[in-house]
């Protein structure tokens, strides 16, 4: 049995000094594969540095996070694009829209999202979507560009069962993380009837730590807590959760 963390930022500078310990703890807790979404131009080197250190465990993505979409977003996109065809990446992410902090660049976020979706389609790669306070906006874009090439993960899903089914109908998987362990999140109820074949596990470390580590920096080893909670919600074994969600990760990313 092993687990796959489909969304972790263990490469960030704040975790650099601990990376050996973090990776050891991940392995000790059966987390064998870590998929690394990029943030912006400043994080590109860190993503590839970690994947070079752990080439059989860490797999890089490239993308521009919506919170990094500012006045210079076209420069950022141009910088990131050059790495897509010159590095061995497994997906385009994380991309999407975030209207929680700031709505100043909503049109720029939409354009950046569409541009990166096309990058993925051109290369037959999956996308990893960041969505915060922007479900309707993202869903409208996905419906508009939907075709056989559109696929990927709706990262950090925390919506309703109705929204989950809408996403699945478009060919996407649900990324389930630490929010599942939060008592009043409502996520357990939302995904109770969703088949495991549409779910992948993630930590989003160092953010959104699961119970019992809530409020502390997250790490990939904590994926076990999320898997255990999902097995309770789905009334199945931990082995079944691990096997199916890890198989889903391979289907999405190819590794």
| pLDDT(217) > 90 | yes
* pLDDT tens-digit readout, 24-63: 999 999 999 999 999 999 999 999 999 999 999 999 999 9
Average model confidence (pLDDT) across the chain: 97
Q: Output the pLDDT for position 87.
A: 83
pLDDT band with cut points at 50, 70 and 90 for residue 248:
very high
| pLDDT(126) > 90 | yes
Chain centroid, CA 120 distance in Å = 15
**Beta carbons of 126 and 253 less than 8 angstroms apart:** yes
Q: Which of 196, 59, 184 is nearest to 128 (CA)?
A: 59
Q: Output the pLDDT for position 65.
A: 98
pLDDT band with cut points at 50, 70 and 90 for residue 230:
very high
Those residues whose C-beta lies under 8 Å from the C-beta of residue 237, and which sit 6 or more positions away, are 231
* pLDDT tens-digit readout, 153-162: 999 999 999 9
- Helix (H) / strand (E) element for 4: namely strand 3-5
Q: What is the mean pLDDT of residues 95-113?
A: 96
Share of the chain above pLDDT 70, in %: 100
* pLDDT tens-digit readout, 59-92: 999 999 999 999 999 999 999 999 998 889 999 9
Q: Enter the pTM of the model.
A: 0.97
Domains contained in the chain, CATH given:
3-253 (3.20.20.140)
Q: Output the pLDDT for position 101.
A: 86
Angstrom distance (rounded) from CA 17 to CA 21: 9
* pLDDT tens-digit readout, 135-154: 999 999 999 999 999 999 99
Q: Output the pLDDT for position 39.
A: 98
Q: Output the pLDDT for position 23.
A: 98
């Amino acid at each position: 049995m092993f687990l796959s963390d489909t969304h972790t930022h263990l490469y960030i500078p704040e975790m650099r000094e601990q990376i050996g310990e973090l990776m050891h703890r991940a392995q000790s807790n059966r987390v064998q594969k870590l998929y690394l979404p990029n943030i912006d131009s400043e994080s590109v080197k860190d993503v590839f540095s970690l994947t070079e250190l752990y080439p059989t465990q860490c797999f890089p993505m490239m993308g521009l996070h919506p919170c990094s979409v500012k006045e210079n977003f076209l420069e950022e996109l141009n910088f990131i694009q050059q790495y897509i065809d010159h590095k061995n990446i497994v997906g385009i992410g994380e991309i999407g829209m975030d209207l929680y902090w700031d709505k100043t660049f909503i049109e720029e976020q939409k354009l950046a999202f569409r541009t990166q979706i096309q990058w993925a389609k051109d290369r037959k790669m999956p996308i990893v979507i960041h969505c915060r306070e922007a479900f309707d906006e993202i869903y409208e874009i996905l419906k508009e560009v939907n075709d056989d090439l559109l696929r990927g993960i709706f990262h950090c899903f925390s919506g309703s069962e109705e929204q989950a089914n809408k996403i699945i109908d478009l060919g996407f998987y649900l990324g389930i993380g630490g929010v599942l362990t939060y008592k009043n999140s409502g996520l357990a109820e939302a995904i109770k009837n969703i088949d495991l074949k549409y779910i992948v596990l993630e930590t989003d470390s160092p953010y959104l730590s699961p119970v019992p580590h809530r409020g502390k920096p997250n790490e990939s080893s904590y994926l076990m807590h999320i898997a255990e909670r999902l097995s309770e919600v789905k009334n199945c074994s931990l082995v079944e959760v691990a096997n199916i969600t890890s198989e889903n990760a391979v289907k999405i990313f190819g590794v």
